[in-house]
Structure 1
Amino acid sequence: MESNDLIGLAAGTLTTVSFVPQVIKTWKSRSAKDISFGMFLLFSLGVVLWLIYGLALHSAPIILSNLVTLVLSLSIILMKLVYK
């Protein structure tokens, strides 16, 4: 694996893992009232575009990090809708 890919994997891992505490907090508290639906919707759309970009480049770091980020972001959106 090239050093650029390692840097990309490290960056993707850190930015993706940053969503885990919010997902856990929202799930445990069963409350998403302070979470902005619009922000997470726009963010998720941006992540979809990054995922498409990664697929076009065949870049594993971009694909993996954005795929996991999308799952986490969509789970927050889902909890926002469920925990009204």
Structure 2
Amino acid sequence: MIHIYVDFILNSVLKAKDLDIPEKKEEITASDITQVKPDFIISSNHPKSNKAKWIIHKYGIFIWETDQKDIQKALDEIKVFIET
């Protein structure tokens, strides 16, 4: 089963947006994401912050980087990858 936490992620990003340090924004967002314990994060890019990468890795979360804007197409990419 797949759960999509768009509002949760958006709220995490908004909470961090007022910070001046981009790496700190990523760390806060990564910490918030780990609270829901997802298996995948579908994103247009990986975090630049090494600490954010470590936070996500520590919880065994896989980041799927894609150019797809349509969530269903991104999920289809993951499905094809898993099935091969």
TM over 0.5, yes or no?
Answer: no
- Bigger CA radius of gyration: 1
Length-normalised TM-score, structure 1? 0.32
* Structure with greater helix percent: 1
The structure with more strand, counted as a fraction of residues: 2
Q: Which has the higher contact order (CA 8 A, sep 6+)?
A: 1
TM-score (norm 2): 0.32
